[in-house]
Structure 1
Amino acid sequence: MRAHEAGALHGEIGSRGPAWLRTPVDVNALVPQLWPRNVVRGPAGALTVAGLDVRDLAAEYGTPAYVLDEDDLRERCREFRAAFPDADVYYAGKAFLCRAVVRMIAEEGLFLDVCTGGELATALSAGMPAERIGFHGNNKSVAELTRAVDAGVGRIIVDSFTEIDRLSELARERGVRPKVLVRVTVGVEAHTHEFIATAHEDQKFGFSLAGGAAAAAAFKILDEDVLELRGLHSHIGSQIFDASGFEVSARRVLALQSQIRDARGVELPELDLGGGFGIAYTTQDDPASPHDLAKRLRKIVDGECAAENLAVPHLSVEPGRAIVGPAVFTLYQAGTVKDVDGLRTYVSVDGGMSDNIRTALYDASYSATMANRTSTAQPMLARVVGKHCESGDIVVKDEFLPADVQPGDLVAVPGTGAYCRSMASNYNHVPRPPVVAVRDGRARLIVRRETEDDLLALDVG
């Protein structure tokens, strides 16, 4: 939500009626940390991005549409590179990947993480050098591993003993020595949704530290000497604002690194602390800057290495959401506006859970604003919902919109660059929206809108 008062008011509506109408909320204001940096309200009251009016974008590309502020994305890449000058910054492609974005992050000097054969194919087809690609995944197939090895992928993050055996067999067959990191499950429960917390013990990723599997995996790789063990990897979750989880994770992973040194006389040269850095979806979110993140993580690693008498390893981090999330907003058109017993108004838009499943899946919160004009009408508490045949098809749970919002108005939802297009579906046979990149007053289509012909082309019955 744009206004922090709305969270408190949510529970008061039923008992106090329209008391929220007296809350001073500027429905025309844009909170800077929620929006791409080149989004402002133009003289006519409509949003503009990099100089282009969203009404013109809607007319040319239709709605819904994901709108990417390309300079914003590039600036965030540069900020992470500047913050981590002695580390490798891997863009986490699962957040959102297409060939244009691959080229952007490559041009800005970032590396790239992929986690499926499809993501790897996208990266390679866009010209990303294979040695700058890392390959994640808890169930990489033989075919995927073969493609990665043959392409010369820079590192593979191994996730199971089965994968170590598969990869070792491929390495022997091809006479190569792939570089690997061992993904360590450190037992840190990040302060995030259960489904996106990835470092507690009872989940599918990595080798358990507490159970000894992580050490056993590292010893197996070192003893067999078929793969090149470069280091350890930890990822504690997503949408994290508190650095304490990274501190505990680093301490435990570096203790394992010390154990490996003492047992095998090998000091591993690399350490990947993963990503999961949070962004602002609402005014209640307060993310750290890349500079502050780097300062905290470097202090943590330096301190733990000193305590373990280890040389400081070469660091890697994996921001995905923190780069692409704030750089994109979704542009919708309102179709129906429905008051429900004076409790709230439902504003139905021409998209929904097929283009943003996060609200339904993670109980995620978003903000919204009317994008095609300003309004002097008083604010009303609204719920922005989609067109799908599901009561849980909610885009924005609670937001103040002007009381005169009407069918045909444009509604923009910021912070939709990460895990919206990449998790989009064809639920109810709705074609997925396009992605439009805007820069220097010019727009270009980087992912076209799906059509009904696309949907029917796969239906061979």
Structure 2
Amino acid sequence: MSANPLAPSWLSVPDDANALVPTVWSQNASRSADGEITVAGVTASELARQYGTPLFVVDEADVKDRARGIRESFDREFARIGGTAKVYYAGKAFLSVEVARWMNDAGLNIDVCSGGELAVALAAGVDPARLGLHGNNKSLAEIDRSVGLGIGAIVLDSLIEIERVADAASRHGRVQPVRLRINSGVHASTHEYLATAREDQKFGIPLAEAADVVARIRSHASLRFLGLHSHIGSQIFEADGFAEAARRLFAVHAELLADGPVPELNLGGGFGIAYTSVDKALPIDEIAVRFADIVAEEAAAHSVDVPVIAIEPGRAIIGPSTFTLYEVGTIKDVVVSLDDDTTAVRKYVSVDGGMSDNIRPALYGADYSARIAGRVSDAEAALVRVAGKHCESGDLVVLSEYLPGDVTPGDLLAVPATGAYCWSLASNYNYLGRPPVVAVRDGAVRTLIRGETEEDLLRRDAGLDAS
């Protein structure tokens, strides 16, 4: 069939609208002999029967393999150049007690950005020394608690935070390790809101001011300067930006060594993942090789030792491991007038979740894929838009996709690559409870986070206490 003129230019009509694109789905997702999507041997229909929909389904072995693989790749490549690397899991992408344990067991450190994320990591038994505290507006209470616990690193984001962290460390009788977040000026090839090294934004300080700010950090006996921190953005598919950021940072890193030790350099990360068939994410092994080569080259160019390199892969660990399972509610064919006075049909497929469990399409215009999960079909593919059930016209889960044209109410629909920034950004808009999160491994399912019920939502309403 020919492409629907309403489809974006990147979206091709698939040869098989039932097929799972391997780069988009987790390693243990497949279709069973009877056509159902399964993960680690458990079918979509069984998951829906046990836990309802919407439901976040985590391929546990996939998460653990990705975490271990990233650590091993960076360990190997930095050993090759005579250095070491620290890998930080992004708690903000998705965090639960069990996931924090998985990351800890895989040898990863964990970044936290709030008192709540810190509490989850601590409840998982993670050593505070393996944690880093991020954020542009850490509260005094968050700083005090982190310093008192002996957190491994605090990323200083402003001049004000230097004094706040130094004061807390003095009160606790500690010397607190800190990094300084720098705006390198390197612009990542990503969405405006995901590019975090631009000059006109809330994170970090300009690179030109680094020397003066580091001198101010070093003036406090209660602080230990670890090194510079850079994060050029998220969902990045190429290494050129990292290379340029490293060049700029190493020049300043070398200058700072003249006045004291600079044992580390954090080059950030934010590695991209595939959400659609056209997304081409760099393999982790290749990323590790490129990072190590860049660091070795710059260290040699400035005649300095290779520092300990910290990286933050972001969504690359948890993002591809998870899909969201929905049930289709209503179907609506919408006739759209085109500029050439012809028309085309877009099929709206509405599901029982939406922007309350995945705000990214509305927030970033993020693209996702979808597949009918409970069956296969030989019906001709139709262009669909997967919509949520919320009272917003922008409540769209998948902006454009081809599905079998006989998609129908009651079908199960799976949207892959929802492990990062979906549940963690979830809300109770329209008073929907946030969905449960389950992990599947070797044919067994267990709950990571229980779904919210109406009773949970009402329990917080103080008006009931007054009635």
TM range (shorter): over 0.9
Offset, 1:261: 2.2
Find the aligned partners of 1:332 and 1:368 in 2 and give their Cα distance: 10
Find the aligned partners of 1:7 and 1:378 in 2 and give their Cα distance: 12
Match of 1:299 among 289, 293, 304: 293
Secondary structure of residue in 2 paired with 1:71: helix
Secondary structure of residue in 2 paired with 1:40: strand
User: For each residue in 1:99-119, what CA deviation from the matched residue of structure 2 results, as whole angstroms up to 9, or x when unmatched?
Assistant: 010011111111101011110
Match of 1:374 among 373, 376, 379: 376
When residues 24 and 209 of structure 1 are mapped into structure 2, their CA distance, relative to the original with a 3 A threshold, is: closer
Find the aligned partners of 2:300 and 2:219 in 1 and give their Cα distance: 27
Equivalent residues in 2 for 1:102-121 (5 A)? 102-121=100-119
Find the aligned partners of 1:205 and 1:230 in 2 and give their Cα distance: 18
User: For each residue in 1:147-194, what CA deviation from the matched residue of structure 2 results, as whole angstroms up to 9, or x when unmatched?
Assistant: 101111111111111111011111111211011111111111111111
When residues 344 and 286 of structure 1 are mapped into structure 2, their CA distance, relative to the original with a 3 A threshold, is: same
Q: Which runs of 5+ in 1 are unaligned?
A: 13-19
User: What does residue 129 of structure 2 align with?
Assistant: 131
Find the aligned partners of 1:458 and 1:11 in 2 and give their Cα distance: 43
User: What does residue 319 of structure 1 align with?
Assistant: 313
2:44 counterpart letter in structure 1: V
Contact 2:113 / 2:133 at 8 angstroms: preserved in 1?
Answer: yes
Q: Which runs of 5+ in 2 are unaligned?
A: 76-83, 336-343
Equivalent residues in 2 for 1:401-416 (5 A)? 401-416=403-418
Match of 1:71 among 42, 61, 64: 61
Find the aligned partners of 1:37 and 1:53 in 2 and give their Cα distance: 15
Contact 2:14 / 2:402 at 8 angstroms: preserved in 1?
Answer: no
Find the aligned partners of 2:205 and 2:4 in 1 and give their Cα distance: 39
User: What does residue 44 of structure 1 align with?
Assistant: 34
Offset, 1:457: 1.6
Secondary structure of residue in 2 paired with 1:343: strand
Matched, 1:254 2:216: no
Contact 2:385 / 2:396 at 8 angstroms: preserved in 1?
Answer: yes
Match of 1:172 among 163, 170, 173: 170
1:220 counterpart letter in structure 2: R
Contact 1:6 / 1:398 at 8 angstroms: preserved in 2?
Answer: no
Offset, 1:78: 1.2
Equivalent residues in 2 for 1:390-429 (5 A)? 390-429=392-431
Find the aligned partners of 1:326 and 1:305 in 2 and give their Cα distance: 34
User: What does residue 449 of structure 1 align with?
Assistant: 451
Match of 1:232 among 228, 232, 236: 228
Offset, 1:351: 0.3
Contact 2:36 / 2:373 at 8 angstroms: preserved in 1?
Answer: yes
Offset, 1:410: 0.3
Contact 2:273 / 2:315 at 8 angstroms: preserved in 1?
Answer: yes
Secondary structure of residue in 2 paired with 1:418: coil
Offset, 1:226: 2.2
Find the aligned partners of 1:377 and 1:307 in 2 and give their Cα distance: 60
When residues 137 and 11 of structure 1 are mapped into structure 2, their CA distance, relative to the original with a 3 A threshold, is: closer
Contact 1:25 / 1:400 at 8 angstroms: preserved in 2?
Answer: no
Offset, 1:8: 7.6
User: What does residue 275 of structure 1 align with?
Assistant: 269
Matched, 1:219 2:215: yes
Match of 2:352 among 350, 353, 363: 350
2:253 counterpart letter in structure 1: Q
Matched, 1:147 2:145: yes
1:435 counterpart letter in structure 2: V
2:240 counterpart letter in structure 1: S
Find the aligned partners of 1:11 and 1:172 in 2 and give their Cα distance: 57
Offset, 1:24: 5.5
When residues 355 and 184 of structure 1 are mapped into structure 2, their CA distance, relative to the original with a 3 A threshold, is: same
2:457 counterpart letter in structure 1: L
**Superposition TM-score, scaled by structure 1 size:** 0.94
Contact 2:234 / 2:269 at 8 angstroms: preserved in 1?
Answer: yes
Contact 1:258 / 1:267 at 8 angstroms: preserved in 2?
Answer: no
User: What does residue 10 of structure 1 align with?
Assistant: 7
Find the aligned partners of 1:130 and 1:173 in 2 and give their Cα distance: 18
Match of 1:55 among 42, 45, 48: 45
2:284 counterpart letter in structure 1: P
Offset, 1:224: 2.6
2:149 counterpart letter in structure 1: A
1:406 counterpart letter in structure 2: T
Offset, 1:61: 0.2
Deviates more, 1:62-71 or 1:448-457: 448-457
Find the aligned partners of 1:171 and 1:431 in 2 and give their Cα distance: 40
Secondary structure of residue in 2 paired with 1:34: coil
When residues 406 and 424 of structure 1 are mapped into structure 2, their CA distance, relative to the original with a 3 A threshold, is: same
User: For each residue in 1:232-265, what CA deviation from the matched residue of structure 2 results, as whole angstroms up to 9, or x when unmatched?
Assistant: 1100000001111111111111111122123x2x
Contact 1:369 / 1:411 at 8 angstroms: preserved in 2?
Answer: yes
Find the aligned partners of 2:14 and 2:54 in 1 and give their Cα distance: 30
When residues 363 and 413 of structure 1 are mapped into structure 2, their CA distance, relative to the original with a 3 A threshold, is: same
Find the aligned partners of 1:163 and 1:31 in 2 and give their Cα distance: 46
User: For each residue in 1:248-305, what CA deviation from the matched residue of structure 2 results, as whole angstroms up to 9, or x when unmatched?
Assistant: 111111111122123x2x2411011112100000111111111111111111111111
2:57 counterpart letter in structure 1: V
Deviates more, 1:251-260 or 1:177-186: 251-260
When residues 82 and 11 of structure 1 are mapped into structure 2, their CA distance, relative to the original with a 3 A threshold, is: closer
Deviates more, 1:336-345 or 1:362-371: 336-345
Find the aligned partners of 1:287 and 1:297 in 2 and give their Cα distance: 15
Contact 2:268 / 2:310 at 8 angstroms: preserved in 1?
Answer: yes
User: For each residue in 1:16-68, what CA deviation from the matched residue of structure 2 results, as whole angstroms up to 9, or x when unmatched?
Assistant: xxxx99x5531111110100110100011000100001100000000000000
Matched, 1:288 2:282: yes
RMSD value over aligned CA atoms? 1.7
